[in-house]
Amino acid sequence: MGGTPLEHVRANVADLDAAVEWYTTVLGFEVEAYWPPGAPNYAHFVTRSGATFAVMEAEGRGGRFNFTVDDPDALWEKVKDVAVVVEPLFDTPYGTRKFTIADPDGNELGFVRNS
């Protein structure tokens, strides 16, 4: 067995509407669905890989999520002045290029290009 594939990641957030606003305006994510109907406290976003990335209004905060992107430099230029920077854009010793920001609830979001 080659490990367990990661298929779903959820960040706990304090305010669903504020989190969705941040992910859609700052990062350009697109909401695929909300749940439950009528009084949603959960939203998941469209992804290229088929895995699910979601936010849910819930107690408890924190987490690190890494996303693979084609052009971290372009995304860095877009978000560096409107997001909390955890790690500025840099080349790693193991051949990737990445940066890390935090969402409004302190979840750390890494954006990585593999060489």
Predicted TM-score of the model (pTM): 0.76
Average pLDDT over residues 57-86: 90
Domain 8-114, CATH number (from 1.10.260.40, 2.30.30.830, 1.10.10.10, 3.10.180.10): 3.10.180.10
Tell me the per-residue pLDDT of 23-66, one tens digit each, with 9 for 90 and over: 999 999 999 999 998 999 999 999 888 889 999 998 777 788 88
Average pLDDT over residues 1-27: 87
Amino acid at 96: T
Cα 106–Cα 111–Cα 115 angle in degrees, nearest 5: 155
Q: Name the pLDDT band for 115 (thresholds 50, 70, 90).
A: low
- pLDDT at residue 63, as a whole number: 82
Domain boundary assignment for the chain: 8-114
